[in-house]
């Protein structure tokens, strides 16, 4: 345990409005029969090749998109690897299937590439809950703190930061800064910030944002589920509440959780993260059983129900559309103001350099 835990958790969050419900988003998506689905997939593969484009998809997108990315030389990964892969890949066009900050991160790192997304409506509650102006004012209150932001933020917020990190390397970066005697201003995810603080013992002030998906996981319901599955391994993403993290066998980024599913000896796992990750977990650990951590605890009804509403907006229909018409019209293309991009590049590219060493 760290010796000198010194955390100042300051209240600074912007209330969220108009959060979509995953079931509503899904009910508005087109439904295809097997033949139509196969046709769409074949057409998307053909268009990717024709346009010299590569598909960079997150583990939380639907299975069809993950399959296309894998079968066409793209990538399905966590947000850190999405950034790294997109930056290193020679394709002139990146199609980023995920949420907006992932597309913006790709553009920040690779301004010479065209970056398009199946939909620009797909955002993230952490990004929404941390507007640049309020964030900048928050930073002004702590001039002696190193500003470390989660990648789930806008380009403007990244531009104000000293460091951008993802859940894969947040602990290592904060530990590194702590070794240099730095105090940390962390934003926007309070749960991840609290977890980092607890593990490293760093002196931190925390912005009070949250992921609407992970925040729905309930420790009490999880405890009850564990009673029914006493031998299951518990895998938890650190955007979950502290009481859920405390029960975990493994806490980490999506990639860490997939690796644990593969490497741990357990035959079954209870997983507290977006359930679209099960596609990759089943692929990497065939024969093992994966159970969703409960989201509808006592007195609560789930809204995302373990699937991000914004990730759910990505589908075959809009992936095909962006390749068919977006490339010509510029619709759904990501643009970042050049002055902001240059500032955001400093804090974001640092993350990739840190991983490389």
Per the DSSP assignment, residues forming a β-bridge with 115 are 94
Are 271 and 224 in contact by the 8 Å Cβ rule? The answer is no
Question: Of the listed pieces 72-80, 156-164, 327-335, 346-354, which binds ligand 13P according to CB under 6 A?
Answer: 72-80
Please count the helices (runs of H) and the strands (runs of E) in the chain. Answer: 17, 13
Return d(Cα 331, Cα 117) in angstroms, integer: 9
Site string for ligand SF4, 263-292 (x = CB under 6 A): -----------x------------------
**Which residues in 165-194 contact ligand 13P (CB under 6 A)?**
166-167
- Residue from 61, 123, 152, 153 binding ligand 13P (CB under 6 A): 152
Asked if 236 is part of the footprint of ligand SF4 (rule: CB under 6 A), the reply reads: no
Q: Which does 166 bind (CB under 5 to 8 A by kind): ligand SF4, ligand 13P, none?
A: ligand 13P
Give the three-class secondary structure for 59. coil
Residue length, the chain?
Answer: 357
| CA angle at 171 for the pair 278 and 291, rounded to the nearest 5° | 20
Question: Of the listed pieces 78-86, 169-177, 263-271, 294-302, which binds ligand 13P according to CB under 6 A?
Answer: 78-86
Question: How many residues of this chain bind ligand 13P (CB under 6 A)?
Answer: 10
Asked if 105 is part of the footprint of ligand 13P (rule: CB under 6 A), the reply reads: no
CB closer to ligand 13P, 122 vs 327: 122
Cis peptide before 188, with omega less than 30 degrees from 0?
A: yes
77 vs 44, 74, 250, 350, CA distance in Å? Answer: 20, 10, 18, 20
Question: Of the listed pieces 110-118, 136-144, 304-312, 317-325, which binds ligand SF4 according to CB under 6 A?
Answer: 304-312
**Which residues in 272-331 contact ligand 13P (CB under 6 A)?**
none
CB closer to ligand 13P, 41 vs 155: 155
In terms of Cα–Cα distance, which of 346, 311, 92 is closest to 211? 311
Asked if 66 is part of the footprint of ligand 13P (rule: CB under 6 A), the reply reads: no
Return d(Cα 357, Cα 348) in angstroms, integer: 15
Q: Could you tell me the smallest distance in angstroms from the CB atom of residue 105 to ligand SF4?
A: 12
Long-range Cβ contact pairs of 280-283 (< 8 A, separation 24 or more): 280/59, 280/66, 280/76, 281/257
Return d(Cα 4, Cα 9) in angstroms, integer: 15
Site string for ligand SF4, 139-168 (x = CB under 6 A): -------------x----------------
Cα R_g (the chain), whole angstroms: 20
Asked if 79 is part of the footprint of ligand 13P (rule: CB under 6 A), the reply reads: yes
Question: Of the listed pieces 76-84, 193-201, 224-232, 323-331, which binds ligand 13P according to CB under 6 A?
Answer: 76-84
Per the DSSP assignment, residues forming a β-bridge with 209 are 189
Question: How many residues of this chain bind ligand SF4 (CB under 6 A)?
Answer: 13
Place of tokens 């490497």: 263
- Residue from 213, 244, 245, 270 binding ligand SF4 (CB under 6 A): 213
- Residue from 211, 222, 232, 245 binding ligand 13P (CB under 6 A): 211
What torsion, rounded to 10 degrees, do the Cα atoms 216, 78, 44, 89 define? 160
Asked if 239 is part of the footprint of ligand 13P (rule: CB under 6 A), the reply reads: yes
Query: Would you tell me which residues interact with ligand 13P (CB under 6 A)?
Result: 78-80, 152, 166-167, 211, 239, 253-254
Binding site for ligand SF4 (CB under 6 A): 99, 124-126, 152, 211-213, 239, 274, 308, 310-311
């Amino acid at each position: 345990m760290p010796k000198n835990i010194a955390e100042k958790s300051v209240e600074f969050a912007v209330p969220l409005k108009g959060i979509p419900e995953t079931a509503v988003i899904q009910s508005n998506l087109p439904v295809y029969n097997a033949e139509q689905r196969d046709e769409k997939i074949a057409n998307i593969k053909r268009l990717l090749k024709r346009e010299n484009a590569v598909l960079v998809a997150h583990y939380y997108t639907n299975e069809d998109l993950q399959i296309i990315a894998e079968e066409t030389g793209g990538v399905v990964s966590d947000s850190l690897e999405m950034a790294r892969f997109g930056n290193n890949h020679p394709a002139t066009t990146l199609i980023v299937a995920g949420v907006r900050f992932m597309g913006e991160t790709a553009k920040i790192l690779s301004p010479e590439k065209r970056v398009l997304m199946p939909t620009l409506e797909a955002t993230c509650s952490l990004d929404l809950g941390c507007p640049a102006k309020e964030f900048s004012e928050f930073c002004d209150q702590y001039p002696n703190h190193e500003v470390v932001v989660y990648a789930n933020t806008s380009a403007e917020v990244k531009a104000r930061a000293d460091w951008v990190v993802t859940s894969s390397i947040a602990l290592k970066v904060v530990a590194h800064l702590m070794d240099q005697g730095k105090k940390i201003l962390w934003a926007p995810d309070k749960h991840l910030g609290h977890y980092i603080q607890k593990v490293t013992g760093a002196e931190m002030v925390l912005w009070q944002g949250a992921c609407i998906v992970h925040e729905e996981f309930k420790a009490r319901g999880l405890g009850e589920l564990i009673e029914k599955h006493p031998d299951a391994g518990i895998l938890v993403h650190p955007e979950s509440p502290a009481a859920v993290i405390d029960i975990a066998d493994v806490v980490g980024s999506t990639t860490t959780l997939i690796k644990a599913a593969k490497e741990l000896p357990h035959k079954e796992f209870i997983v507290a993260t977006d359930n679209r990750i099960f596609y990759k977990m089943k692929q990497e650990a065939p024969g093992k059983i994966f159970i969703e951590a409960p989201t509808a605890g006592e007195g609560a009804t789930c809204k995302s129900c373990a699937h991000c509403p914004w990730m759910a907006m990505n589908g075959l229909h809009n992936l095909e559309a962006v390749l068919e018409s977006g490339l010509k019209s510029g619709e759904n293309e990501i643009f970042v103001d050049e002055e902001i991009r240059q500032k955001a590049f400093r804090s974001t590219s640092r993350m990739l350099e840190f991983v490389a060493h």
